[in-house]
Amino acid sequence: MKLTAWKQSMAKGNLHWFDIVYAAVRTSWLVLALRDLIANPERILPTSHPIITTGAIGLVAGWITACFLIPLLCYFSRKLKPYSPLIELVLIAPLILFLAGEPSAFDLYNLPVFTIGYFTFRKRYAWFYVPTVLLIPGLAGVLYDYPIEAIANEWLDNSIMFIIGICFRIMINAHLKMRTMMQIIKDQNQTLELYARQIEELAIVEERNRIARELHDTVGHTFTSTILGMEAVYYQMDASPAAARDSLKQLIDYARTGFTDVRRNIHQMAVYEDERSLSKSLAKISDDFGVHTGTRVVVEISGEEPDRLSASEAVRVTLIRCLQEALTNAKRHGHATEIAVKLSYAPGQIAMTVVDNGIGQDHIETGFGLNAMNNRIASLNGTLEIRSQVNQGTSVACTIPLKAG
């Protein structure tokens, strides 16, 4: 809704309280004028008229009625309302010139002057001031030999009524504009409330997706490593029971660590609450995965790691989850025996590449894990590239820009 809606509201002919007040005042003025005409015709009809007859009184009464009712009907008509001041002037001017022999007849002129002034707030109606306020009283004064003082008094009185009409219209316009602005504010508040509810719903959905990704990454990674480790223990039990017990103990510790990660995610806590650097965290995850799955994992780090303020927690979590997903997929789907993890720090960005010697595939099927990985990286304006060929392994490369710190 635009700020000029108050003009459209007026154009539609909507009824407002001031329209009712105007109609009531105009009707009251008509009733008083007719009563005064019938009770004391000599106060309105010029005494110079040869005969004050019932017919003459009726003619004047009808004329007065037309002068007050026809502009009122035009006022409430959308098509005729712009012409209301002109119709008012055309009707009232001959009547005033006819009755101006009695000075009290000018009392009938006050309301039409006020009404014409009410419409003169627009520049295209400004010319009405001259004929309404100056010309008609001046012409009446000339026709009936009024002294210049009397004519000047009429000019002053009419100017005051004319200005009051303009001020009244300005006040009404301000009221309409204020009311429209309040309606706009109300509508905007309702829109904002709707947006707030939608954002809240989206936030809930996003939080559910975040928790789902966290659980998938932590639980999936932990379970995959644990299952693969238990399979290795199963084959070790006969050949080397002592080594099997040691491996089983390590798997129990690893499962407990995974359970702790799940519990932290449920409570919306950080992945790693200690002060370990990103490099050490990724190296620890890679080492643990290699130990529990019997996979050779080599970690290579190049460049200088930025401080924790530059590498935000979101970047740390994203790289950790991406590494977990890449390691899990390399072992679960690629059956890899060797995995190379390369972490590179460059000015303004961090890059991580995970390359395995697994079976590879020509077509990568994107499941929940890869979609979650891609969404995480995209949320940080990063890029994810996955390449794979049959019998040539798979390469996962992600790059995340860093904010200037």
pLDDT digits (tens, 9 = 90+) for 83-96: 777 788 888 888 77
DSSP 131: I
Phi first, then psi: give them for residue 80, nearest 5 degrees: -95, -10
Phi first, then psi: give them for residue 236, nearest 5 degrees: -85, -20
What are the structure tokens assigned to 140, written together?
């009446």
Is residue 256's pLDDT more than 50?
yes
Distance CA 132, CA 88 (A): 10
What are the structure tokens assigned to 338, written together?
């060797």
CA neighbor of 352 nearest in space, from 301, 308, 316, 398: 398
Is residue 387's pLDDT more than 60?
yes
> Nearest 10 degrees: CA dihedral of 380, 383, 387, 393?
-40
Distance CA 36, CA 52 (A): 15
Please identify, in words, the CATH class of the domain defined by 277-405. alpha beta
Distance CA 272, CA 264 (A): 9
Distance CA 81, CA 125 (A): 13
Q: Can you give the pLDDT at residue 343?
A: 94
> Which helix H or strand E contains 77, and what residues bound it?
none
Residue 252 burial class via C-beta count within 10 angstroms: exposed 0-12, middle 13-18, buried 19 and up: exposed
The pLDDT tens digits for 183-237 are: 888 888 888 777 767 766 766 667 677 666 666 666 666 666 777 777 777 777 7
Distance CA 81, CA 173 (A): 16
Q: Which of 10-19, 46-55, 164-173, 380-389 has the highest mean pLDDT?
A: 380-389
Is residue 10's pLDDT more than 50?
no
Q: 391 near 398, Cβ under 8 Å? A: no
Beta-bridge mates of residue 398: 352, 384
- What is the mean pLDDT of the segment spanning 241-247? 76
In angstroms and rounded to an integer, the radius of gyration of the C-alpha atoms of the chain is: 45
User: At 69, is the pLDDT very low, low, confident or very high (cuts 50, 70, 90)?
Assistant: confident
Residue intervals of the chain classified under CATH 3.30.565.10 are: 277-405
Q: Can you give the pLDDT at residue 194?
A: 79
What are the structure tokens assigned to 328, written together?
């899990």
Beta pairing class for 296-302 and 338-346: parallel
Interhelix angle 241-266/148-239, nearest 10 degrees: 170
The pLDDT tens digits for 110-160 are: 778 887 888 776 666 667 777 777 788 888 888 888 888 888 888 888 888
DSSP 130: I
Q: 388 near 364, Cβ under 8 Å? A: yes
| Residue labelled with tokens 């007859």 | 53
